[in-house]
Structure 1
């Protein structure tokens, strides 16, 4: 197997598991890039075939670094993914992200095809693994002559019950900021043939108990826009399509309290000045 040069952008909570997985293949050689060299070095520490570097994804150096590799895995905030894809198109380098396909990235599809590269998105757990099992199950139903009239898919990266020992009943396995702000999204889904819209201010109020197995107290609320997945999953016969998020009971109420207290408001505050503690 030919050696592969892989560039990993970002050194957050997902980076170390990603690096460890890639290093299972002895022909993979990794470059770990972060704005702070010390942070990249922490990810690379004790791991063979890794090269930590300092790199800002908004700098001109991004083009050169991406062009020097076979694949770039973007683990930086999703707002930077389009810039990474544009750079990869110029450098003819394949791209992987775990984030949803934004309209901006979708607009680059033709350019990516012309460059002869693969841009693979939505390859996490949600979105990602959930897509695979959804399509697998739907295909099995269709192959047997059945129809999918109602589709429900609920996912949640949750700690073991005994470890859900904080007011959020949650542990962060990816960007804490991203995880919390995702609970401020609006949502849209299809229910009994009608499109239902949930404003972001009401998302946590929409959480309802969801029984999966005895001994677990789950709640579920809708996740972003589910309506497009009737076409994506090839279930035109479905009158209900809901993709949602699972949390332990108590989480939405706690998040709602944080919202009402203003702790999830990302706008600048005059009273939060540099140097204050």
Structure 2
């Protein structure tokens, strides 16, 4: 029996655990699920004969290393900063590694050793990054095989609330790691547009009114991701004039989040004492208060909006305009904001989320310009088996199966851009209603 070791049993692990447990009898594998929270593991795994829960502190080397030594394959859904602990152990004990996270500089330092050991460390094997790479490369290779010359590539993806559950001022509810949402865009973004490199700061990112039309959904807003240029070589599109990867949101969210950034509430560097600090005083720490004005009027004046505007309603929804005391001890602004979001923007048990992804590719073939849209919309089942959990977890599960069946020959530090990976993974994802539709103009 083969042994799969999974680190992390959080929001994104639910459907991955389901997949591994359901396939265990036929595939003859055993799954060990590691998390600091034993009750959380048991809630996700049930009483399956094929699962062993392991409640440990992943930073504890003496507890972590024996588990890795006994595994045939390791999957990590830990917070990104902790992957390197697992990666170094996988290299030491010669174990293959799968994760949905971005390749970071620390694991990049191990690239030669990973290759020399004949191991596969497949990073970015989730949704975004993950399904975006696989689906994009399938389309790119198809266009190029038919003689098409690509000159513009834009890719969009967003974890949204489904329309029937979209019932708050933010048009947003949390379906994944709230800290990642709070810190999104901190390093700004770089992309190429019509031959020119564009750079946006964190403050500029959400202050955009750019939208894209999604079939069946209407207009969604978008903001560019991190460093799009870093993926041009991965996609073999180094020389095209336009290349951008972006995140999708409902337009109201981007407007409100731009105000939150202007207020300085996403800063994660300086700590504040909150035991006697009210939410309003915290939210207006950079605002000159006029005592003759109401809280709403002071905030509206600073943000240069109406006191009855949508943005003021959003801030009120988060409780930022009231006199309640925060009482969380010493925290950064980002940590306080995360706490608020987890309380106010939580998914209710019956809520459903939605994943939207679209590639917009322009190319020329036989002197004819064509614009292609390849898009995917995935609905969650409920607040536990979300579209986010499906689209992050299932690619990892399918890839694990392919690797244990020895159907994958690639080695080294990789992301899933090669046909031997994306063809079987995308094909099986269709069995879970994760599929792409195409249209041409």
Q: Which residue in the other structure is 2:182 paired with?
A: 180
Q: Which residue in the other structure is 2:155 paired with?
A: 153
* SS at structure 1 position matched to 2:260: helix
Structure of larger gyration radius: 2
1:217-232 equivalences under 5 Å are 217-232=219-234
Is the 1:34–1:56 contact (alpha carbons within 8 Å) kept by the matching residues of 2? yes
Q: Which residue in the other structure is 1:113 paired with?
A: 115
Task: Report how far residue 185 of structure 1 moved.
Answer: 3.8
Q: Which residue in the other structure is 1:56 paired with?
A: 57
Whole-Å separation in 2 of the counterparts to 1:92 and 1:248: 44
TM-align CA RMSD:
2.1
Indicate how the Cα distance of structure 1 residues 88 and 273 shifts in structure 2: closer, same or farther if over 3 A, else same.
farther
Indicate how the Cα distance of structure 1 residues 121 and 215 shifts in structure 2: closer, same or farther if over 3 A, else same.
closer
* SS at structure 1 position matched to 2:218: coil
Task: Report how far residue 122 of structure 1 moved.
Answer: 0.4
* SS at structure 1 position matched to 2:190: strand
Task: Report how far residue 59 of structure 1 moved.
Answer: 1.2
Q: Which residue in the other structure is 1:87 paired with?
A: 89
Is the 2:190–2:197 contact (alpha carbons within 8 Å) kept by the matching residues of 1? yes
Q: Which residue in the other structure is 1:9 paired with?
A: 7
Q: Which residue in the other structure is 1:24 paired with?
A: 22
1:1-277 equivalences under 5 Å are 3-25=1-23, 26=25, 27-60=28-61, 61-213=63-215, 215-272=217-274, 276=327
Whole-Å separation in 2 of the counterparts to 1:51 and 1:268: 41
Whole-Å separation in 2 of the counterparts to 1:208 and 1:271: 38
Whole-Å separation in 2 of the counterparts to 1:172 and 1:46: 28
* SS at structure 1 position matched to 2:52: strand
Is the 1:99–1:121 contact (alpha carbons within 8 Å) kept by the matching residues of 2? yes
Is the 2:185–2:226 contact (alpha carbons within 8 Å) kept by the matching residues of 1? no
Task: Report how far residue 210 of structure 1 moved.
Answer: 1.2
Task: Report how far residue 207 of structure 1 moved.
Answer: 4.8
* SS at structure 2 position matched to 1:184: coil
Task: Report how far residue 75 of structure 1 moved.
Answer: 0.7
Is the 2:97–2:121 contact (alpha carbons within 8 Å) kept by the matching residues of 1? yes
Is the 1:207–1:221 contact (alpha carbons within 8 Å) kept by the matching residues of 2? no
TM-score (norm 1): 0.91
Whole-Å separation in 2 of the counterparts to 1:55 and 1:42: 16
Is the 1:184–1:203 contact (alpha carbons within 8 Å) kept by the matching residues of 2? no
Whole-Å separation in 1 of the counterparts to 2:272 and 2:221: 37
Task: Report how far residue 250 of structure 1 moved.
Answer: 0.6
Indicate how the Cα distance of structure 1 residues 230 and 253 shifts in structure 2: closer, same or farther if over 3 A, else same.
same
Indicate how the Cα distance of structure 1 residues 273 and 6 shifts in structure 2: closer, same or farther if over 3 A, else same.
farther
Task: Report how far residue 268 of structure 1 moved.
Answer: 4.8
Is the 1:31–1:51 contact (alpha carbons within 8 Å) kept by the matching residues of 2? yes
Whole-Å separation in 2 of the counterparts to 1:190 and 1:206: 16
Structure 1 residue runs of 4+, over 4 Å off?
none
Is the 2:190–2:228 contact (alpha carbons within 8 Å) kept by the matching residues of 1? yes
Is the 2:18–2:45 contact (alpha carbons within 8 Å) kept by the matching residues of 1? no
Q: Figure out how many residues of one structure are paired with residues of the other and give that number.
A: 275
Higher relative contact order (CA 8 A, sep 6+): 2
Whole-Å separation in 2 of the counterparts to 1:165 and 1:221: 23
Whole-Å separation in 2 of the counterparts to 1:167 and 1:47: 41
Is the 2:7–2:35 contact (alpha carbons within 8 Å) kept by the matching residues of 1? yes
Whole-Å separation in 2 of the counterparts to 1:183 and 1:129: 21
TM-score (norm 2): 0.59
Whole-Å separation in 2 of the counterparts to 1:59 and 1:168: 40
